[in-house]
Structure 1
Amino acid sequence: MRRVSIDEASSREWDVVIAGTSFSAMFFGHGLSPDLNVLFVEKGTEYPHSDQLESGWAVREAFNQRNSSGLKKDWIAFTLFGGNSNYWWGNAPRQHPDDFALNSKFGVGMDWPITYQDLEPFWERAEDIIEVAGGLSDHILPRRKPFPYPPHTPSRADVALRESSPLWVPGASAASNGGSRPTCCVNGVCRICPIDAKFTVLNGLDKLTHPGAHYLFGTEVRAVDIEGGLASGVRVKTADGDEARLRSSIVALGTNGIFNTAILQRSDVRNDALGKYLHEQALIDVHVDTANIKAFFGGTSETGHGYHFYHNIDRSTAGAGLIETINAPVSVRRERGKWANRIHMRIAVEDLPLAENRVFLEDDEPVIEWTGYSDYAKRGVERAKASLPDIIPDTIEHLWVSDLLPSEAHIQGTHRMGLSAEDSVVDDRLRLHSTPNVYVLGSGAFPACSPANPSLTISALALRASEAVK
Structure 2
Amino acid sequence: MNDDRRVVVIGSGPAGAMAAYELVRKGIPVTMLETGEDIQRGALVRIAGRNLYRHLPPMTKATGFVVTGDPETNLEYNYALGGLSNQWTGAVPRFCTEDFTAGERVHEKYRWPVTYNDLAPFYEIAERVMEVTADPSDVPSLPAGYCDYQQQLPEDWLSVRRAALKHGQGFTTMPLADGPPFLLLRRGTSFNSYSKLLAKLPREPAFKLITRAHALRLEWDGKKKKAVAAIYCDRQTMAQNRISASAFVVACGPLNSSKLLFSSECCDHPNGMGNGAGLLGKYLHDHPREWWAVDVDTPLTSLSPPAYLTRLPHASSDPLLASSWTLGAFGTVGKIKSRFGQKTNYFGVQIFGTMVPEEKHYVRLARDDKDEFGFPALEVHLSFDENVLANVIKAREHLLQLMQDAGHRGTVREIVPQLFPGTAKHYGGAARMHVSPKFGVTDGSNRLHEIPNVLVVDASCFTTGAEKNPTLTVMALAARAADRLARDLRAM
Q: Secondary structure at the match of 2:484?
A: coil
Equivalent residue for 2:285, pick from 276, 279, 285: 279
What is residue 391 of structure 1 aligned with on the other side?
A: 402
Could you tell me whether the CA contact under 8 Å between 2:320 and 2:355 is conserved in 1?
no
Could you tell me whether the CA contact under 8 Å between 1:109 and 1:353 is conserved in 2?
no
Shift of 1:311: 3.1
Q: Deviations over 1:161-214 (max 9, x none)?
A: 335444211110001245xxx35x9xxxxxxx7676621124313785266110
Paired amino acid for 1:277: Y
For 1:202 and 1:68, locate their aligned partners in 2 and report how far apart those are by CA, in whole Å.
33
Paired amino acid for 1:162: R
Q: Deviations over 1:386-428 (max 9, x none)?
A: 3222210235352234434441011211100111222211011
Distance 1:237 1:203, change over 3 A: closer
For 2:160 and 2:180, locate their aligned partners in 1 and report how far apart those are by CA, in whole Å.
22
2:21 matches 1:21:
no
Equivalent residue for 1:41, pick from 33, 37, 41: 33
Q: Secondary structure at the match of 1:203?
A: helix
Q: Secondary structure at the match of 1:89?
A: coil
What is residue 4 of structure 1 aligned with on the other side?
A: none
Equivalent residue for 1:238, pick from 226, 234, 238: 234
Equivalent residue for 1:421, pick from 437, 447, 450: 437
436-445 or 349-358, which moves further after superposition?
A: 349-358
What is residue 9 of structure 1 aligned with on the other side?
A: none
For 2:94 and 2:400, locate their aligned partners in 1 and report how far apart those are by CA, in whole Å.
26
Shift of 1:370: 2.5
With normalisation by structure 1, the TM-score equals 0.84
Could you tell me whether the CA contact under 8 Å between 2:293 and 2:349 is conserved in 1?
yes
For 2:262 and 2:145, locate their aligned partners in 1 and report how far apart those are by CA, in whole Å.
42
Could you tell me whether the CA contact under 8 Å between 2:32 and 2:210 is conserved in 1?
yes
111-120 or 282-291, which moves further after superposition?
A: 282-291
For 1:106 and 1:138, locate their aligned partners in 2 and report how far apart those are by CA, in whole Å.
27
What is residue 219 of structure 1 aligned with on the other side?
A: 213
Aligned-pair RMSD on alpha carbons?
Answer: 3.0
Aligned residues: 438
Paired amino acid for 2:210: L
Q: Deviations over 1:93-129 (max 9, x none)?
A: 0112221112334558611111111111100111111
Equivalent residue for 2:172, pick from 169, 174, 182: 169
What is residue 140 of structure 1 aligned with on the other side?
A: 140
What is residue 353 of structure 1 aligned with on the other side?
A: 357
Could you tell me whether the CA contact under 8 Å between 2:217 and 2:232 is conserved in 1?
yes
Shift of 1:86: 1.2
Distance 1:317 1:247, change over 3 A: closer
For 1:448 and 1:55, locate their aligned partners in 2 and report how far apart those are by CA, in whole Å.
29
* Identity of matched residues, %: 19
Q: Deviations over 1:272-319 (max 9, x none)?
A: 1101122111111132211103342x433xx11102x33345333671
For 2:289 and 2:441, locate their aligned partners in 1 and report how far apart those are by CA, in whole Å.
27
Distance 1:165 1:234, change over 3 A: same
Could you tell me whether the CA contact under 8 Å between 2:57 and 2:86 is conserved in 1?
no
2:304 matches 1:299:
yes
For 1:161 and 1:173, locate their aligned partners in 2 and report how far apart those are by CA, in whole Å.
21
Could you tell me whether the CA contact under 8 Å between 1:353 and 1:374 is conserved in 2?
no
Could you tell me whether the CA contact under 8 Å between 2:59 and 2:78 is conserved in 1?
yes
Paired amino acid for 1:305: Y
Q: Deviations over 1:374-393 (max 9, x none)?
A: 34422421331332222102
33-42 or 125-134, which moves further after superposition?
A: 33-42
For 1:100 and 1:372, locate their aligned partners in 2 and report how far apart those are by CA, in whole Å.
24
Could you tell me whether the CA contact under 8 Å between 1:103 and 1:110 is conserved in 2?
yes
Q: Secondary structure at the match of 2:133?
A: coil
Could you tell me whether the CA contact under 8 Å between 1:223 and 1:234 is conserved in 2?
yes
Equivalent residue for 1:258, pick from 255, 258, 269: 255
For 1:67 and 1:295, locate their aligned partners in 2 and report how far apart those are by CA, in whole Å.
45
Distance 1:387 1:359, change over 3 A: same
5 Å-filtered alignment, 1:5-154, equals 15-32=6-23, 34-47=26-39, 49=41, 56-57=57-58, 60-62=61-63, 64-69=65-70, 72-105=72-105, 110-141=110-141, 143=143, 147-152=146-151, 154=153
What is residue 377 of structure 2 aligned with on the other side?
A: 366
Q: Secondary structure at the match of 2:9?
A: strand
Could you tell me whether the CA contact under 8 Å between 2:231 and 2:243 is conserved in 1?
yes
Could you tell me whether the CA contact under 8 Å between 1:109 and 1:352 is conserved in 2?
no
Q: Secondary structure at the match of 1:467?
A: helix
What is residue 51 of structure 2 aligned with on the other side?
A: none
Could you tell me whether the CA contact under 8 Å between 1:47 and 1:81 is conserved in 2?
yes
Could you tell me whether the CA contact under 8 Å between 1:109 and 1:448 is conserved in 2?
no
For 2:94 and 2:300, locate their aligned partners in 1 and report how far apart those are by CA, in whole Å.
29
For 2:478 and 2:288, locate their aligned partners in 1 and report how far apart those are by CA, in whole Å.
25
Shift of 1:137: 4.2
2:345 matches 1:341:
yes
For 2:87 and 2:116, locate their aligned partners in 1 and report how far apart those are by CA, in whole Å.
27
What is residue 339 of structure 2 aligned with on the other side?
A: none
Q: Which runs of 5 or more structure 1 residues have no equivalent in the other structure? A: 1-11, 186-192
Distance 1:409 1:437, change over 3 A: same
For 1:283 and 1:156, locate their aligned partners in 2 and report how far apart those are by CA, in whole Å.
29
For 1:177 and 1:197, locate their aligned partners in 2 and report how far apart those are by CA, in whole Å.
12
452-461 or 400-409, which moves further after superposition?
A: 400-409
Q: Deviations over 1:17-52 (max 9, x none)?
A: 111111111111111154322100110002364699
Could you tell me whether the CA contact under 8 Å between 1:92 and 1:455 is conserved in 2?
yes
Q: Secondary structure at the match of 2:21?
A: helix
What is residue 190 of structure 1 aligned with on the other side?
A: none
What is residue 203 of structure 1 aligned with on the other side?
A: 195
For 1:108 and 1:17, locate their aligned partners in 2 and report how far apart those are by CA, in whole Å.
33
Paired amino acid for 2:467: P
For 2:437 and 2:218, locate their aligned partners in 1 and report how far apart those are by CA, in whole Å.
19
Could you tell me whether the CA contact under 8 Å between 1:155 and 1:327 is conserved in 2?
no
